[in-house]
């Protein structure tokens, strides 16, 4: 047979296969199944749209989740949510069956002790162990309350006798690192990534407070086990996963678990999990005359099981260190970017004559320092995720609007914290005076303080790590200001930021010089 005949025969076989495929594709059973799926999807979309059609929102958002997915993929979803809230009001549709609110009173209502709102399946994406809940993803209100009861005494710091000493030691390690390796001179610049060094500090501090010793980031001046790198990659994954709750069932399969971070890993998030779990294993069962006075010891005394403790220590490091680092970075960035703020803060520190290192009590009595901390958190809250809750089955009526049962409602955190009605016409501007009597009435100050507290969530879902983070901010900010002048190496692009439920920040390159008299001479 000739080559032409071979090709002709081959073409006939291909043609025949195509005809068979076309016949199958357009057969009655196939068309029936396809039509059923299309009809089911359109019906679902219409019903989801119809339930919330009395709420405004962006075009298509009430019909499909595609806009929400695209907003998240851009890494600036917190700013998109702010835009939506400012355009459509305090309650708007952002996806089929999903609302967005920037109203702090509605957020408080949802988080009230007797509220029947509950956490949405969105939280399940942030399980570090697909088989085990931690306080950050527990959806059952009663189980969450019971867990909180066991954890709260440790998080409060009251049962950690040397809590401030631990934080002081890690501040000293941070100061020493900058002094030994990154001080610039008139003839040279030793640039360093402040975003990275701050996270070394918060991760080491959390490790020290939680289970008795720093992890070692500051000592080695390195991203140990590629932790920062892998966590920066991991959080966007978890955030995208939260948009597809059905995928969480797949992650629970044994065949998939082996590809997830594991305590057996030698690098990344898995290695940090391993370090935490190794510490927990050594402390269970608890021994009489327990010498430890750290957070883990408090949890043990209050009845936390070994498996619960493993999950909670991992949560502390992975989430707590990142959020505290964001707050500290933003305070330092705004202080050193505003000469008037820096000058006034240094005068306050000088006049207060605090101890060295400064105590939490001393820092708490400095009104301008506290105003600076609040303003930085307001401008750039560490937590930016959807934070979705489920409306109770019977629904709820708020401000005359009915929220149907089963509706999902999330938070527009940035919109809440930059609301002009609460914070003034210059709400987008960094101005700490708005939290001082000179800048607002007593009623306005009370309202502003109450709203900023929402940056760490309200009521039953208030972040337990808030107290530890406040201690870190109160102590590390004055110490850095006493020691160094910092300036941005690249002021036109001061740092990079990606919103993935929390703020991921990097490349905050700084130049540091020493202040010989601490900048506090009379």
Q: How far apart are the first and last CA of the chain?
A: 104
- How far, in whole angstroms, is CA 115 from its chain's centroid? 24
**Please, which residues have CB within 8 angstroms of residue 153's CB and are 6 or more apart in sequence?**
159, 298, 302
Residue 419: HSE in the Cβ half-sphere, 13 Å Cα cutoff: 19
What would you report as the CA-atom Rg of the chain, rounded to the nearest whole angstrom?
27
Q: Do 429 and 341 form a contact (C-beta atoms < 8 A)? A: no
463 assigned binding-site residue: yes
What string of DSSP letters covers 145-178?
HHHHHHHHHHHHSTT-TTHHHHHHHHHHHHHHHH
Residue 504's DSSP bridge partners are: 498
Residue 170: HSE in the Cβ half-sphere, 13 Å Cα cutoff: 31
The H-or-E segment that residue 359 falls in is: none
Q: Do 127 and 80 form a contact (C-beta atoms < 8 A)? A: no
- Among 382, 376, 363, which Cα is nearest to 321's? 382
d(CA 43, CA 48): 9
Q: Do 474 and 377 form a contact (C-beta atoms < 8 A)? A: no
* Residues tagged in the binding site annotation for heme: 463
* Residues tagged in the binding site annotation: 463
């Amino acid at each position: 047979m000739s080559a032409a005949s071979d090709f002709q025969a081959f073409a006939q076989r291909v043609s025949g296969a195509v005809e068979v495929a076309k016949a199958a594709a357009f057969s009655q059973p196939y068309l029936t199944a396809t039509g059923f799926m299309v009809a089911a999807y359109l019906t679902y979309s219409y019903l989801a749209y119809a339930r919330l059609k009395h709420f405004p929102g962006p075009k298509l958002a009430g019909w499909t989740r595609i806009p929400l997915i695209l907003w998240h993929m851009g890494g600036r979803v917190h700013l998109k949510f702010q835009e939506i809230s400012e355009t459509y009001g305090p309650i708007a549709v952002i996806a089929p069956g999903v609302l967005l609110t920037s109203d702090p009173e509605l957020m408080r209502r949802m988080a009230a002790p007797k509220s029947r709102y509950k956490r949405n399946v969105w939280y399940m994406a942030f399980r570090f162990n697909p088989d085990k809940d931690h306080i950050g993803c527990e959806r059952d209100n009663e189980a969450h309350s019971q867990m909180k009861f066991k954890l709260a005494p440790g998080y409060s710091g009251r049962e950690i006798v040397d809590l401030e000493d631990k934080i002081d030691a890690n501040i000293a390690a941070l100061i020493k690192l900058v002094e030994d390796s990154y001080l610039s001179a008139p003839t040279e610049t030793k640039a360093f990534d402040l975003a990275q060094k701050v996270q070394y500090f918060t991760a080491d501090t959390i490790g020290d407070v939680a289970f008795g010793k720093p992890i070692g980031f500051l000592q080695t001046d390195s991203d140990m086990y590629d932790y920062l790198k892998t966590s920066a990659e991991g959080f966007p994954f978890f955030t995208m996963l939260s948009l597809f709750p059905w995928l969480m069932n797949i992650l629970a399969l044994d065949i998939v678990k082996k590809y997830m971070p594991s305590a057996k890993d030698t690098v990344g998030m898995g290695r940090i999990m391993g370090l935490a779990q190794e510490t927990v294993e050594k402390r269970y069962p608890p021994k009489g005359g327990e010498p430890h006075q750290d957070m883990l010891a408090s949890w043990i005394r209050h009845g936390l099981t070994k498996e619960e403790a493993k999950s909670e220590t991992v949560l502390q490091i992975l989430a707590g260190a990142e959020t505290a680092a964001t707050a500290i970075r933003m305070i330092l960035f705004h202080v050193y970017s505003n000469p008037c703020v820096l000058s006034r803060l240094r005068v306050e520190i000088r006049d207060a004559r605090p101890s060295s290192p400064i105590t939490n009590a001393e820092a708490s009595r400095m009104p301008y320092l506290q105003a600076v901390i609040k303003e930085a958190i307001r401008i750039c809250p560490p937590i930016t995720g959807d934070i979705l809750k489920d409306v109770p089955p019977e629904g709820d009526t708020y401000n005359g609007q009915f929220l149907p049962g089963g509706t999902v409602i999330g938070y527009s955190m940035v919109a809440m914290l930059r609301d002009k009605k609460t914070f003034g016409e210059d709400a987008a501007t960094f101005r700490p005076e708005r939290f001082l009597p000179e800048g607002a009435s007593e009623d306005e100050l009370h309202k502003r303080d109450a709203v900023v507290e929402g940056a760490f969530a309200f009521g039953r879902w208030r972040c337990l790590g808030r107290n530890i983070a406040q201690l870190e901010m109160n102590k590390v900010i004055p110490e850095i200001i006493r020691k160094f002048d910092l300036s941005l190496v690249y002021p036109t692009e001061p740092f990079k930021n990606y919103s993935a439920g929390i703020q991921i920040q990097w490349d905050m390159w700084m130049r540091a010089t020493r202040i010989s008299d601490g900048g506090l001479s009379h």
